[in-house]
């Protein structure tokens, strides 16, 4: 007998609602561990903080910040911090829960956590951005730490922001605690390979899924939504393998070219002007047309809830690689499965980032840094092992890769929960 949470009101398609239905689908495969499943349906701890700063014009502005620790049964909390004007507690809860599933799915010794600030960083000066970051870090400083909860970059946060977070936490505790965040600059305890790790993981899992489907990557048509750190890196790797990037969408719009977009030109232009800045290299089309651009592989690498029922119905893709967290709503997942479209779920597909974050954390503690080849070899091995294990589970139970991933991950989490027992 457990009461419903009072502080969120999820709908079928909202991030927390999506997560809850993903958990519900796995219950039949948990056996006696199902007794513990309620533990996954609520966060262990959620902190809401006020982030006041003095703006450059002398006014005082307040922003709302969050850090949610969803589960720590298998290790410290782990997960990024997102700066976005639409961030909500409900969204951060779902993102923290997906981190719990993700770290367990690839078998990293972590739980799941996530943070966010409801702010549009594009409207802040560099100095204001630093103030927001530092005040937020100081406020959540009471629950984060190298052995308790380790933040990292996510949407609109980067290595510089991680450096400010590391410094603020370190100033508050005395000393230099490099292990408190990952995704730091290289000379501050960062790791080689971290920036490209998420996109690389999307490529490695996608290449293996394509191979198993008998799809040749040479000439395969790919549509990518979101052209930041994840989408653009994955696109470049697929293009190197001979695929054609036929559509790209970002916050500025959508560009298509059925012969393949020239990434050597598109990537640098997109950094300053967005993808529509590359008018010379393709056609700018209405955003909704992105979803019916003929393609073989679809990579949603932007925000949650993008792959709706209607869009799942119209995509021509045979393979969906979830670079974003939570891009597919549950009903769209069902439609894709019925239509025979294979989905490599976010909690495996984009786990490359947190995997190299783990390498960074290990290197920080041992003060011994690996070369990039070693990072990539280890990353590829972890991603391939995880994917193969999940593929076998999906074949065995005749379930989707997502439900198979949840079955593997939830078993690990709930086994740890059971073995630790309830305290007191």
Nearer to ligand GLU, 94 or 261 (CB): 94
Based on the shown chain and the rule CB under 6 A, indicate whether residue 193 belongs to the binding site for ligand GLU.
no
Least distance from C-beta 345 to ligand GLU, angstroms? 13
Least distance from C-beta 325 to ligand GLU, angstroms? 5
Based on the shown chain and the rule CB under 6 A, indicate whether residue 357 belongs to the binding site for ligand GLU.
yes
Q: Return d(Cα 124, Cα 95) in angstroms, integer.
A: 24
Least distance from C-beta 147 to ligand GLU, angstroms? 15
Nearer to ligand GLU, 98 or 291 (CB): 98
For the chain, give me the number of helices (H) and strands (E)?
Answer: 13, 12
Based on the shown chain and the rule CB under 6 A, indicate whether residue 80 belongs to the binding site for ligand GLU.
yes
Q: According to CB under 6 A, which residues from 219 to 278 bind ligand GLU?
A: none
Based on the shown chain and the rule CB under 6 A, indicate whether residue 152 belongs to the binding site for ligand GLU.
yes
Residue nearest to ligand GLU (CB): 80
Least distance from C-beta 344 to ligand GLU, angstroms? 15
Nearer to ligand GLU, 83 or 291 (CB): 83
With contacts defined by CB under 6 A, name the span among 75-83, 131-139, 163-171, 279-287 that binds ligand GLU.
Answer: 75-83
CA 403 to chain centre: 18
DSSP 79: E
Q: Return d(Cα 82, Cα 98) in angstroms, integer.
A: 14
Based on the shown chain and the rule CB under 6 A, indicate whether residue 182 belongs to the binding site for ligand GLU.
yes
Phi and psi angles of residue 357, each rounded to the nearest 5 degrees, phi first:
-60, -40
- 235 neighbors 244 (Cβ within 8 angstroms): no
User: Applying CB under 6 A, what is the total number of residues that bind ligand GLU?
Assistant: 11
Binding marks (x or -) toward ligand GLU, 81..120, rule CB under 6 A?
----------------------------------------
Beta strands in 154-214 (DSSP E): none
Least distance from C-beta 40 to ligand GLU, angstroms? 18
Based on the shown chain and the rule CB under 6 A, indicate whether residue 364 belongs to the binding site for ligand GLU.
no
Give the residue from 7, 155, 19, 9 showing the smallest Cα distance to 85.
Answer: 155
152 beta partners: 80
Q: Return d(Cα 401, Cα 387) in angstroms, integer.
A: 9
- 149 neighbors 74 (Cβ within 8 angstroms): no
With contacts defined by CB under 6 A, name the span among 40-48, 117-125, 264-272, 346-354 that binds ligand GLU.
Answer: 346-354
Give the residue from 1, 125, 191, 111 showing the smallest Cα distance to 420.
Answer: 111
Q: Return d(Cα 319, Cα 223) in angstroms, integer.
A: 11
Among 67, 70, 78, 184, binds ligand GLU (CB under 6 A): 78
Least distance from C-beta 254 to ligand GLU, angstroms? 24
Based on the shown chain and the rule CB under 6 A, indicate whether residue 79 belongs to the binding site for ligand GLU.
yes
Task: Tell me the helix, strand and coil percentages in the chain, rounded to 5.
Answer: 50, 15, 30
From 44, 78, 102, 114, the catalytic residue? 114
Least distance from C-beta 354 to ligand GLU, angstroms? 4
Find tokens 């598109």 and name the residue.
266
Provide the token pair at 240: 């190197």
Judge whether 78 counts as a catalytic residue: no
Give the residue from 127, 143, 120, 124 showing the smallest Cα distance to 64.
Answer: 120
Residues that bind ligand GLU (CB under 6 A): 78-80, 152, 154, 182, 325, 350, 353-354, 357
Query: Which residues are identified as catalytic?
Result: 114
């Amino acid at each position: 007998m457990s009461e419903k949470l009072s502080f969120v009101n999820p709908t079928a398609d909202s991030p927390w609602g999506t997560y809850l239905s993903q958990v519900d689908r796995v219950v039949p495969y948990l056996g006696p561990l199902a007794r513990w499943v309620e533990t996954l349906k609520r966060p262990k701890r959620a902190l809401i903080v006020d982030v006041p700063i003095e703006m450059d014009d002398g006014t005082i502005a307040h922003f709302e910040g969050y850090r949610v620790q969803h589960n720590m049964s298998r290790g410290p909390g782990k997960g990024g911090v997102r700066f976005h004007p639409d961030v909500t507690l409900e969204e951060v809860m779902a993102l923290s829960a997906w981190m719990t599933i993700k770290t367990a799915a690839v078998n990293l010794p972590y739980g799941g956590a996530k943070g966010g600030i409801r702010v549009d960083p594009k409207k802040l000066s560099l100095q204001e951005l630093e103030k927001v970051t530092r005040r937020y870090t100081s406020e959540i400083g009471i629950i984060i730490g190298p052995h308790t909860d380790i933040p990292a970059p996510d949407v609109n946060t980067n290595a510089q922001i991680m450096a400010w977070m590391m410094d603020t936490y370190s100033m508050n505790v005395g000393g230099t605690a490099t292990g408190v965040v990952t995704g730091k600059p290289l000379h501050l305890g960062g790791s080689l390979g971290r920036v490209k790790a998420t996109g690389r993981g999307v490529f490695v899992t996608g290449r293996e899924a394509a191979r198993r489907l008998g799809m040749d990557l040479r000439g395969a048509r790919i549509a990518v939504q979101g052209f930041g750190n994840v989408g653009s890196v994955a696109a470049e790797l697929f293009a190197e393998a001979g695929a054609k990037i036929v559509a790209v969408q970002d916050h500025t719009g959508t560009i298509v070219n059925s012969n393949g977009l020239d990434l050597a030109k598109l990537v640098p232009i997109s950094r300053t002007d967005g993808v529509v800045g590359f008018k010379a290299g393709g056609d700018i089309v209405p955003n909704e047309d992105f979803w019916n651009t003929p393609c073989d592989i679809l990579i949603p690498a932007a925000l949650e809830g993008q792959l709706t029922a209607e869009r799942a119905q119209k995509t021509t893709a045979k393979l969906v690689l979830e670079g974003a967290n939570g891009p597919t709503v549950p009903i769209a997942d069902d439609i894709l499965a019925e239509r025979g479209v294979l989905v490599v779920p976010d909690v495996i597909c984009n786990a490359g980032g947190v995997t190299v974050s783990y390498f960074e954390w290990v290197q920080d503690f041992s003060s011994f840094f690996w070369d990039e080849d070693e990072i990539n070899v280890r990353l590829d091995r972890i991603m391939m092992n995880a994917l193969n294990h999940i593929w076998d589970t999906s074949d065995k139970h005749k379930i989707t890769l997502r439900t198979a991933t949840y079955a593997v991950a939830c078993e690990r989490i709930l086994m740890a929960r059971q073995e630790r027992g309830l305290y007191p």
